[in-house]
């Protein structure tokens, strides 16, 4: 009979056709299927149907095939266990990376907190306190700049809905296009991504009103 009815040949074809390098291949599922295929071969070898055309292998040959099947099954099981360990280790590393992604940034921010605490604890006039807060603000802006955070220009700029969030609107004859005339809250971007839009007050060109009809002459 042809090899299409031989479990050993069919299992071998299944294993050889596994594309482990493909992005769409589930490696774990492929390994489990390979283990199942080997077990199917072993089971079929032990329960060959009566009347098969192919003669049964000799005693020594049967033992050799049995050892090869067992070795292959153990090898596949070890590979499956190694893959499972790799997956668990990768997941742990991913969770650690997510948990401590801001570690370096937070270490720099605590120095800003230190300076704020010193400014609050220090004695002096209101001017001294203001000077200390101004120094901390400059430190904070420099820290943001080093991490790619920059301010969005708003005041006097044409209104851009992708960068500005209008909270009020007024008409003005001095602007040719909708223009930001007030900034209520500063906006920021991080590298090329919007971090927070600027909250602004917008002036729009005044609409021309139709002249009122003059009253008829007496």
Percent of the residues in the chain that have a pLDDT greater than 70, as a whole number: 69
* pLDDT over 80 (residue 75): yes
pLDDT at 41: 62
pTM (global) more than 0.85? no
| Helices and strands (DSSP H and E) totals, the chain | 5, 6
Residue 40's CB is within 10 A of a number of other CB atoms, namely 15
d(CA 8, CA 60): 18
Please list, residue by residue across 64-99, b when 16 or more beta carbons sit within 10 angstroms of its beta carbon and e when fewer do.
Answer: eeeeebeebbeebeeebeeeeeeeeeeeeeeeeeee
Return the higher-pLDDT residue of 199 and 83: 199
Question: What is the chain's mean pLDDT, rounded?
Answer: 79
Same domain membership, residue 116 and residue 89: no
Query: Tell me, what CATH number does 169's domain have?
Result: 2.30.22.10
**Is there a domain that residue 95 lies in?**
yes
Please provide the size of the chain in residues.
218
Q: Lowest-pLDDT range, 13-17, 113-117, 131-135?
A: 13-17
Q: Which helix (H) or strand (E) holds 165?
A: strand 164-172
If asked whether residues 29 and 93 sit together in one domain, one would say yes
Compute φ and ψ for 34, nearest 5 degrees.
-65, -40
- Indicate whether 12 and 91 sit together in one domain: yes
Per-residue pLDDT of 17-73, as tens digits, reads 444 444 444 666 666 676 676 666 666 655 555 445 455 555 677 788 888 888 888
Do 69 and 8 reside in the same domain of the chain?
A: yes
For residue 122, the enclosing domain spans 102-147
């Amino acid at each position: 009979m042809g090899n299409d009815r031989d479990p050993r040949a069919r299992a071998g074809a299944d294993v050889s056709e596994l594309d482990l390098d493909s992005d769409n291949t589930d490696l774990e599922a492929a390994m489990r299927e390979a283990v199942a295929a080997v077990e199917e071969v072993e089971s079929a070898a032990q329960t060959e149907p009566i009347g098969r055309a192919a003669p049964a292998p000799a005693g020594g040959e049967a033992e050799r095939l049995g050892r090869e099947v067992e070795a292959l099954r153990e090898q596949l099981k070890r590979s499956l266990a190694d893959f499972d360990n790799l997956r668990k280790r990768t997941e742990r590393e991913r969770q650690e990376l997510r948990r401590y992604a801001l570690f370096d940034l937070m270490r720099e921010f605590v120095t800003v907190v230190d300076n704020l605490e010193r400014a609050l604890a220090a004695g002096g006039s209101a001017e001294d306190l203001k000077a200390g807060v101004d120094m901390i603000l400059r430190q904070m802006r420099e820290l943001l700049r080093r991490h790619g955070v920059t301010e969005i220009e708003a005041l006097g700029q044409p209104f851009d809905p992708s960068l500005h969030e209008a909270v009020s609107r007024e008409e003005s004859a001095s602007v040719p296009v909708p223009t930001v005339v007030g900034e209520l809250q500063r906006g920021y971007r991080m590298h090329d991504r919007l971090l927070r839009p600027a909250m602004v007050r917008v002036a729009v060109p005044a609409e021309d009103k139709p002249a009122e009809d003059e009253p008829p002459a007496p």
